[in-house]
Amino acid sequence: MIQDNYRAVEARVAAACRRAGRMREDVTLIAVSKTKPVEMVRELQEIGVVDFGENHAQELVTKTEAIPEKLNWHFIGHLQRNKVKYVVGRACLIHSVSSLRLAEEIRKESEKKGLVTPVLIEVNIADESTKSGISAEEAIQLVRQVAELPGLSIRGLMAIAPPVEDPEENRGYFRQMRELKETIAGLHLPGVSMEELSMGMTGDFEVAIEEGATMVRVGTAIFGARQMMQRRKRKTTQSF
Ligand SMILES: *Cc1c(COP(=O)(O)O)cnc(C)c1O
């Protein structure tokens, strides 16, 4: 069933790429497996899926230990500095860097492990006070600062759009993200790549692709609904 769900989402990704005149290989579909059991990840592994998304450090550790094969684990959640040590070296990309303090911690841990950690700068595009994150202007400043740090390499930007009934409501936000990515790319900062734009979830990934997403993070449409989690401490109106 999960394999069928994945194939259905894959078909929608491919169709959105065609509509937008984009190549299918320019968009990575990340299966967001957070809160879901390892068996479900294995089901998708069977059909060749390698990109998975997690948003808790402990769960990332548990899953990477249970699955010895090398997969691309994307860290997409709010990352506390004391959890950085669990994520550096396990995640192929940390999507959610929104402060210099966090970037410093990733630098420290990466240098300790002799790694360069690929990261995205997370922008709070809708400026909702319930979410962590920084504004577009702050993002430009943060990119400049993080670019100076060894041990990290900036690959692009990430955004979480607000939950909406009609995905068209988020089109403007996605467009703003693409414009911000182009603005930053135009600064030609040494060591900064603006190749990746991680945006779009179950409710709006097709619109995000039409507006330039290079990574979409899809959970519910593949794995089914998640239980609301008690262990989340941050206030949020969303079920992730
Ligand atoms: C949970 C989560 C997703 C996936 O959300 P769905 O609506 O279930 O597709 C995507 N991005 C982030 C940052 C998440 O935390």
Calculate how far, in angstroms, residue 11's C-alpha sits from the geometric centre of ligand 1.
Answer: 19
Ligand 1, atom 12: closest residue by C-alpha: 76
* C-beta 236 within 6 A of ligand 1: no
Answer whether 151's CB lies under 8 Å from 108's CB: yes
Question: Rounded to an integer, what distance in angstroms lies between the CA atom of residue 81 and that of residue 102?
Answer: 6
Q: What is the pLDDT of residue 65?
A: 97
Q: If residue 111 lies in a helix (H) or strand (E), which one and from where to where?
A: helix 100-113
Calculate how far, in angstroms, residue 112's C-alpha sits from the geometric centre of ligand 1.
Answer: 31
Q: Give the DSSP letter string of 192-208.
A: ----EEE---TTTHHHH
**Candidates 6, 9, 28, 32: which one to mutate for ligand 1, based on the most atoms within 8 Å of Cβ?**
32
Residue-wise pLDDT tens digits, 109-157: 999 999 999 999 999 988 766 556 799 999 999 999 999 999 999 999 9
* C-beta 219 within 6 A of ligand 1: yes
Question: Rounded to an integer, what distance in angstroms lies between the CA atom of residue 165 and that of residue 168?
Answer: 9
Nearest atom within ligand 1 for CA of residue 240: 1
Q: If residue 85 lies in a helix (H) or strand (E), which one and from where to where?
A: helix 84-87
Q: What is the pLDDT of residue 131?
A: 58
Which structure tokens are listed for 193?
């790549």
**Is it the case that residue 49 has pLDDT exceeding 60?**
yes
Answer whether 203's CB lies under 8 Å from 240's CB: no
Calculate how far, in angstroms, residue 153's C-alpha sits from the geometric centre of ligand 1.
Answer: 23
Q: What is the pLDDT of residue 43?
A: 98
Please state the rounded mean pLDDT for residues 29-57.
Answer: 98
Q: What is the pLDDT of residue 236?
A: 45
Please state the rounded mean pLDDT for residues 170-192.
Answer: 97
Give pTM, 2 decimals.
0.94
Calculate how far, in angstroms, residue 63's C-alpha sits from the geometric centre of ligand 1.
Answer: 18
Ligand 1, atom 13: closest residue by C-alpha: 76
Predicted confidence band at 217 (pLDDT cuts at 50, 70, 90)? very high
Nearest atom within ligand 1 for CA of residue 221: 9
Answer whether 46's CB lies under 8 Å from 27's CB: no
**Is it the case that residue 46 has pLDDT exceeding 70?**
yes
**Cross-strand partners of 30:** 217
Q: What is the pLDDT of residue 229?
A: 57
Nearest atom within ligand 1 for CA of residue 158: 13
Share of the chain above pLDDT 90, in %: 90
Please state the rounded mean pLDDT for residues 221-238.
Answer: 67
Average pLDDT, the chain: 94
**Is it the case that residue 210 has pLDDT exceeding 80?**
yes
Q: What is the pLDDT of residue 227?
A: 84
**Is it the case that residue 237 has pLDDT exceeding 50?**
no
Calculate how far, in angstroms, residue 114's C-alpha sits from the geometric centre of ligand 1.
Answer: 30
Q: How far is CA 28 from the centre of its chain?
A: 11
* C-beta 97 within 6 A of ligand 1: no
Beta strand extents in the chain (DSSP E only): 28-32, 51-54, 72-75, 93-97, 117-123, 152-159, 196-198, 215-218
